[in-house]
């Protein structure tokens, strides 16, 4: 033990770099360059295997995350709804075959999301080049030979989300706006919501009492 008011010794002598007592206890990363090359080669092999499809995978919709904390943002969702596919004129069975993700459980809660994702599908459909299964026997809907010759594989993000910057509108503060008491208004409206039931009950009781008073007056 150390003398007086000195720090208690806490030396770390358990690091075994050379592996004398067994395996090396220190985590090393000497294969970082090799791993980097392996990942690059794997990406190239995957791109060659799925050619001419995009390397990013299937097209996904733009959705709002759940909860009040994140619902003002947008991100890519799991798949397009059946209603969005219907508006875009794409069948639910054909969509996965042309690189469109489908989510049959998701529902459109607003007209804005339906319009946004159907527009996204139409834009994708307009730039799509469909290769025939048999080059000698192309089917209806397949792209022409001239378009097939111009086809190139898309590498990178597939139709990324573009953030729209809305211009900031400046307004002059009017006396009416300056005199508006927002907190008082919120409290009043909240109280009105709370008092809906008691007020209805009070009105029914007053009506019932008036009817009873009218009956008593007739009896007299």
From 101, 53, 47, select the one nearest 78 (Cα to Cα). Answer: 101
User: pLDDT per residue over 64-120, tens digit each?
Assistant: 999 999 999 999 999 999 999 999 999 999 999 999 999 999 999 999 999 999 999
DSSP 175-218: HHHHT--HHHHHHHHHHHHHTHHHHHHHHHHHHHHHHHHHHHHH
Confidence band (pLDDT; 50, 70, 90) for 10? confident
Please provide the size of the chain in residues: 220
Q: Check: CB of residue 54 under 8 Å from CB of residue 99.
A: yes
- In 10 A of CB 8, how many CB atoms? 6
Higher pLDDT, 42 or 1: 42
- Token pair of 172, please? 């002059």
- Token pair of 181, please? 């008491």
- pTM (2 decimals)? 0.65
User: pLDDT per residue over 184-201, tens digit each?
Assistant: 999 999 999 999 999 999
Calculate the average pLDDT of the chain.
90
Q: Check: CB of residue 17 under 8 Å from CB of residue 24.
A: yes
In the beta sheet, which residues pair with residue 100?
A: 59
**pLDDT score, position 144:** 79
CA 66, distance to chain mean position in Å, is 8
Mean pLDDT of 126-141: 82
């Amino acid at each position: 033990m150390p003398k007086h008011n000195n720090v208690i010794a806490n030396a770390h002598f358990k690091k075994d770099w050379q592996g004398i007592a067994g395996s090396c206890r220190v985590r090393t990363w000497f294969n970082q360059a090799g791993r980097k090359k392996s990942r690059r080669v794997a990406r190239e092999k995957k791109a060659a295997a799925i050619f001419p499809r995009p390397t990013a995978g299937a097209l996904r919709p733009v959705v709002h995350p759940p909860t009040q904390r994140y619902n003002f943002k947008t991100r890519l969702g799991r798949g397009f709804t059946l209603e969005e596919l219907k508006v875009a004129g794409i069948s639910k069975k054909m969509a996965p075959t042309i690189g469109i993700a489908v989510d049959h459980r998701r529902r459109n809660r607003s007209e804005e999301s339906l319009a946004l994702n159907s527009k996204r599908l139409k834009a994708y459909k307009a730039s799509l080049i469909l290769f025939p299964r048999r080059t000698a026997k192309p089917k209806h809907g397949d792209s022409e030979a001239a378009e097939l010759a111009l086809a190139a594989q898309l590498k990178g993000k597939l139709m990324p989300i573009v953030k729209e910057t809305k211009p900031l509108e400046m307004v002059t503060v009017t006396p009416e706006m300056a005199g508006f008491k927002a907190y008082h208004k919120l409290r009043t409206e909240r109280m009105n919501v709370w008092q809906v039931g008691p007020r209805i009950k009070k009105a029914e009781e007053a009506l019932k009492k008036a009817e009873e008073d009218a009956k008593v007056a007739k009896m007299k």
